[in-house]
Chain A
Amino acid sequence: MSSGEWSGDGGKWLDAHYDPVAGLYTFSSCVDLADLSGDGESRLVVGDLGSGCSGMKLKVYRGTALMSESTLLDLPAGLVAFFMDLHEPRIPAVAVASGPCIYVYKNLRPYFKFTLPGLEVNTLEQDVWQQVREGQIDPLTLKEMLESIRKKADVPLSVRSLRFLSLDADDMDDFVQLHKLQPIRRQTVITCIGTLKKSTADEDGVSCLVIGTESSDVFILDPEAFIILSKMSLPAAPTAMDVTGQFDVEFRITVACRNGNIYILRRESDKPKYCIELSSHPVGLVRLGKNVVVGCTDESLQGFTQKGKKLWRTVLAAPITTMAAMDLPTRGFQAVLVGLANCEVQLFRDKNLLSTIKTPDVVTSICFGRYGREDGTLIMTTKGGGLMVKILKRTAAFDDRDSAPGPPPAQSIRLNVPKKTKLYVDQTLRERENGLVMHRAFQMDLSRLRLAAAKAYVKALESSLTPMSSSLTEPLKMNAVVQGLGPSFKLTLNVQNTAACRPVMNLAISFLYDESLYRMRSPYLRIPLLVPGLIYPVETFVECTSDKGISDIIKVFVLHEGRSSPLLTAHINMPVSEGLMLS
C-alpha cells in the first residue's frame, strides 16, 4: 500500500515510512526519541504493550528497521530517556516505569531497578496476621476481622488481605498457609513519569526522574543515587504530567488528575499551588511555552496560563485519542498535535487549526522530534499496530488564520421556499371576501363531526373495540402480530400494563373465529400478573384448515375474571394461507 494516498496535507509532510503491520501497540507516554549510542543518530524507543497481558517489550527502531527488542516483565506505564551522569560519550539511559518499579536501561542493558517505598500498613491488620501466624485464629475468623477492619479503618487493606477476602472458603486455608510467614506490605504503582533537569538547562544536562503514583504522590528521584529528593502530595491520582524548569533553581510540575482537575506544583511547597477545574476528564496535557493545552473527553481543546487562567477553548470534530507537542526550536515554532478518533491528526497553534493529516487508521501515539539525523520527524503508531513516520518539509510554512471571522457559512445558503402560486392568492381573496360564511360553515361541520366522533367513540368504548383500555383499574394495551406463511401461523399478542405502579391480575385471553376455517391450539389463555411497563408476549398457534385460499378475521378478547364484557378487543386480519396450495 502506498502511503502517499493517505496524506491529506501532502504539501507539508513527506511520507518517509508506513508499516501497517509493525505490531506496535503503545501510547504517547511510552514513546521517546533518543541518541542511544552517541553517534548523533536518534533512535525511537518504544514500550510496547503487546496484547495487554503478554508480549510486553522494549523496542528500539533505527531508521525503518527494528534494532533491538527486550522483554518487559509488566505493562509499561511510561518511558523516558534521560541523562543520569556526566560521563563521556554522552549516552542517555532509558527509564521504563511499570508496576511499582522503574527499570533503568543503559546501552540497552538492564542497569538498575528502583522500587517505590512501601506504604504504611494498617496496624490492626498486621496484628491479625500476626495472630494467624501464631495459629491463634482460623481463616474464617480472620475473614470476619479483616472485613470489619476494611469497613472501619482509614488506612486501606493490603493487596494480600483483599485477595484473601475475595477467595472461596475452600481455598482460604491454602492461601493462609502459603502467605502467613511473609510480612505484610502495601505497594503503590506508578501512573506517569517525567524528567526534570537537575541544575543546568542544557540539552544534555543531568535529569531527575519525576514520578506520579496511584497513592496520589509525586516523587522526584536523584539520577545517580536513586534516592527520593522530594515528595509532594496531590488530592487525586495523577494521570499525565508535564515538567519544566530545573530542580535546583525553580520548577513547575503540571499534573492532570483522575478527578478531572489539573494541579500545578512548584518548588517551594509540597502541596499544589494552583488548581484548574475542568468540565470533563482530561485526555492529554501538553505545555507550550508558558501555556498549558489540555484535551478533554467532551471533544474540546482548552488553553490555560501557568496560573490556571482559561485562555481559550475550541471544539473538535471527534474524540481525542492522543496529544503531543510539536517543538521546532530552529524555527521558533511550537504547536500541539492532536490525534482524533476520526482518523485525523490535527495541528493547533493556540486555538487555530493549522493543518490536518489524514491517517489510514486511528492514531494512538504521537511523538515529534529528531529521528535519525532529521530534526522535524513525526512518528505515529496506530490502533491496528501500524508505525508511520513523516518528515516535515523544510519549505513547509504554517500560516495562522483566525478561524471565526465574519458571519457563519450557513447564513449564505438560500432556502428553497416554494413560491406562492396565483391560485393561492385567488383563494386567499375568496377567504377574505367570504370569511364569515366559511367560518360558520366550518363551525357547523365541526360540531357535527364532534358529535359523530363522540358517537363512534362511545360505540367503540362500549364494545371495547380499541386495543387499549383506559379504565382506571386496568389500563392495558395490546397489539397483535401474525407470523408465518400458513397453514400454521404464530399469533403473538403483546400485552402491556400502562399503569404507573399497580400490577394487574386475573386476566385471560379468548378468541372468536370461524371454526370451519381455523383451528387454534389453545383458544383460551391465562395471562400472568402484569407488572407495569413491561411487555408480555403471549403466543399461540393457529392452523388454517381451508384450502380455498380464503382468510377471515380472528377477534381477540382480553377478559377479566368475573366480568362478562371484555376489557379490550383486537381484530386480526389473518393472511391467506399458502402452505396447502404450494404442496
Chain B
Amino acid sequence: MEVTMDPLFLAWSYFRRRKLQQCSDICTKILQDNPYDQAAWSLKTCAITEMVYIDEVEVDQEGIAEMMLDESSIAQVARPGTSLRLPGTSQGGGPTPAVRPMTQSGRPITGFVRPSTQSGRPGTMEQAIKTPRTASTARPVTSASGRFIRLGTASMLTNPEGPFINLSRLNLAKYSQKPSLSRTLFEYIFHHENDVKNALDLAAQATEHAQFKDWWWKVQLGKCYYRLGLYREAEKQFRSALNHQEVVDTYLYLAKVYQRLDQPVTALNLFKQGLDHFPGEVTLLTGIARIHEEMNNILSATEYYKDVLKQDNTHVEAIACIGSNHFYTDQPEIALRFYRRLLQMGVYNCQLYNNLGLCCFYAQQYDMTLSSFERALALVASDEEQADVWYNIGHVAVGIGDLTLAYQSFKLTLAFNNDHAEAYNNLAVLELRKGHIEQSKAFLQTAASLAPHMYEPHFNLSILSEKIGDLQSSYTAAQKAEDAFPEHVDTQQLLRQLRQHFTVL
C-alpha cells in the first residue's frame, strides 16, 4: 500500500530543498481544499517571496534622481577624506591613473564588480543620461524603481489568474495582530509585490502591537524608510533596533544609510563598533574595505581585505580585489596566484581568464598567456566581455610588437563594443604611426567625448595637434588632460612648452 506523505510536510520539505515552485503548487492545492489553512498560506507566501528574494544589504543602486537631484548636497567642497562624492580626496598611496585606470567618477577600477563600484557621480546631467546604463558599464542606473518593478511585473506574468494575495482587500490591522503571519506577509509585500507603502503600514502597525520592543519590526521599518528615501527616519529605526538587539544585518543597513548620506567616516566608525560586538565578522570587514576603496584609500582597503581572507579564505571579492591591487602595483606574479586561487575555487568565467591572461603576460609566463585568452573567448557571454578580451589581446600584441594583430584586435573591440574609449584611443595611436593624421584625430576626438575622465585621449590629441602646428587646440586639449590627471608630468611639460611658445616672439 502506498503511503502518501502529508502534503504540508512535503511542501515544507520542498521548501527546504529550495524547490520553490513545487512547494508553492502543493500549497495552492491545500488552500483550494481549505482556504483558511494558515500554515499552508504562510508557507506559500514564504516560497513565493524566496523566488524573487534578493539580499537587501547588497543591493544598492543609486538612480539618476538620487544623484543629480539631490537637494541636500550643500558642501560642494568637502574636507579631504570625509566624502565619497569627491574623487580626488585620496589619502595618498593610491596608484595614479597612469598605472591604474580610472572610472568616470575618478576612482581606480576595483577588482570586483558590484553595485555602485563603477558608478559614482556623473558631473553633468548630460553624462548621467547617456546610454548604456546597465550595471556592467560605468554609468548609473536611471532609477532604482526600474529594476524593482521589473521583478514585480515578471512575477505577475507567471500568475495569469491574478495575484496570490490581493493587497487592496487585505485588512492590515488584523494581520498585524498575528505575529506568526505578519512577518511572512510583510516579506511578501516588501519583496514580491514591491509595495513599500503597504509594507510600511503593516510594519508600523505591527511594531505598535509589539509595543515598540521588537527589533525585527524596527529593522523592517528602517528598510521601508530607506527604500522611500527617508534616510534620517531609517537611521532612527535602525539605531533603536540596535539598542534592543545587536544584529550584524542592522549594522550593515545602518552603514548603508550613512553611505547614502555621504558620511563615510560615520559608516566606518559604525562598522568598527560592530566589530567590537562581532569580532572578525566578514561582512563588516568587507564593508570597511569597500568604503576605503571608494575613498581611494587602496592601501587600507587591501589591509582589510586581507583581514577578511583570514576569517574566510574563500571570499571571492577579497581575493579579486587584492589580486587586482597587486596587478596594478607591479606585482603581476602575486596577482596570478590570487586569480589561480579563484580558479581553484570554481570561479570559471570569461573575466577571470581575461585577468589570468594579462597577469601571465606581464609576469613573463608567456606559454599560458594566449591560451588563457582563447579560453576567455570561448567563455564569452556578452558582446562587452568579448570586446574586453579583444582589447587585452590588443595590448599583448602591442607588447610583442605585432601591430597588425593589435590593429585588428582594437578594431574587433570596437565592433563588439562601440563605446570602448580606450580602444579608440589606442587605435588612434596606431593610425598615427601609420601616418593617417585625420583618422587618428577623429578617433581621439571620439575617445575624448566617450570618456572625458580619461587623460590619455586628451594628451594624445594635444601631442598630435602640437606636431601638426595647431598650438591652440593642443593647448586646450592639454588643459583637459591636466584636469583629468593633474600630476601627469608629460602633460605639464607640454603645457609649459606651449606657454613658452606663446610668449616667445
Contact = CB atoms under 8 A, between A and B. Distances in A.
B is a partner of A: yes
Interface of A: 260, 278-281, 296-299, 418, 421, 423-424, 427-428, 430-431, 437-439, 441-442, 445-446, 448-450, 452-454, 456-457, 460, 465-468, 470, 475, 477, 479-486, 489, 494, 496, 498-500, 532-533, 535, 548-549, 570-576, 578, 581-582
A482 B331 contact: no
Given A438-B366, A500-B438, A581-B149, A483 B334 contact: no
B228 to A, nearest CB: 15
7 contacts: A424-B331, A466-B411, A477-B439, A479-B418, A575-B131, A575-B133, A581-B146
Contact of A421 (B331, B415, B450): B331
Interface stretch (B30-38, B158-166, B199-207, B368-376): B368-376
A535 B445 CA distance: 10
Interface in B398-449: 400, 402, 405, 408-409, 411-412, 414-415, 418-419, 436-439, 441-443, 445-446, 449
Interface pairs A-B: 5 shortest CB-CB: A445-B370, A482-B131, A441-B367, A549-B150, A298-B503
A423 B142 contact: no
A490 B433 CA distance: 37
A574 B409 contact: no
B443 A477 contact: yes
Nearest to A535: B445
A interface secondary structure, majority: mixed
Contacts of B150: 549, 576, 581
A460 B383 CA distance: 13
B364 A418 contact: no
Interface in B290-314: none
A449 B412 CA distance: 13
Given A298-B503, A477-B442, A571-B418, A581 B450 contact: no
Given A298-B500, A427-B333, A484 B418 contact: no
Given A445-B371, A477-B442, A572-B131, A423 B405 contact: no
Contact of A446 (B365, B370, B504): B370
A480 B418 contact: yes
Nearest to B377: A452
A281 B505 contact: yes
A582 B145 contact: yes
B505 to A, nearest CB: 5
A466 B414 contact: yes
A453 B134 CA distance: 28
Contacts of B442: 477, 496, 498, 533
Contacts of A418: 329-331
Contact of A453 (B383, B412, B439): B412
B247 interface: no
B333 A449 contact: no
A532 B412 CA distance: 25
A431 B129 contact: no
Given A482-B131, A483-B131, A578 B446 contact: no
B393 interface: yes
A457 B397 CA distance: 15
Contact of B143 (A453, A548, A582): A582
A461 to B, nearest CB: 9
B32 to A, nearest CB: 30
A273 to B, nearest CB: 23
Contacts of B436: 498
A571 B419 CA distance: 10
Contacts, number: 170
Contact of B145 (A431, A457, A581): A581
A571 B415 CA distance: 9
A431 B131 contact: no
Contacts of B364: 427-428, 431
B441 A533 contact: yes
B493 interface: no
B363 A460 contact: no
A475 B334 CA distance: 45
Interface in B203-245: none
A427 B368 CA distance: 13
Nearest to B386: A456
B405 to A, nearest CB: 6
Nearest to B505: A260
Nearest to B133: A575
Given A280-B504, A498-B438, 4 more contacts: A442-B370, A465-B415, A467-B414, A480-B418
Contacts of B130: 481-483
A483 B126 CA distance: 8
Given A483-B130, A576-B146, A498 B450 contact: no
A453 B394 CA distance: 10
Given A483-B129, A484-B129, A442 B367 contact: yes
A452 B504 CA distance: 54
A160 B132 CA distance: 65
Given A424-B333, A446-B370, A578 B131 contact: no
Contacts of B282: none
A445 B503 contact: no
A533 B363 CA distance: 42
B363 A421 contact: no
A274 to B, nearest CB: 19
Contacts of A297: 503
Contacts of B450: 479
B476 interface: no
B504 A279 contact: yes
A485 B142 contact: yes
Contacts of A470: 439
Nearest to A457: B408
Contacts of B390: 453
A445 B143 contact: no
B405 A453 contact: yes
A446 B396 CA distance: 10
A479 B442 CA distance: 11
Nearest to B151: A549
Contacts of A428: 364
A480 B450 CA distance: 10
B337 interface: yes
Contacts of A421: 331, 333-334
A431 B442 CA distance: 42
A475 B437 CA distance: 13
Contacts of B134: 573, 575
A480 B337 CA distance: 40
A573 B414 contact: no
A301 to B, nearest CB: 14
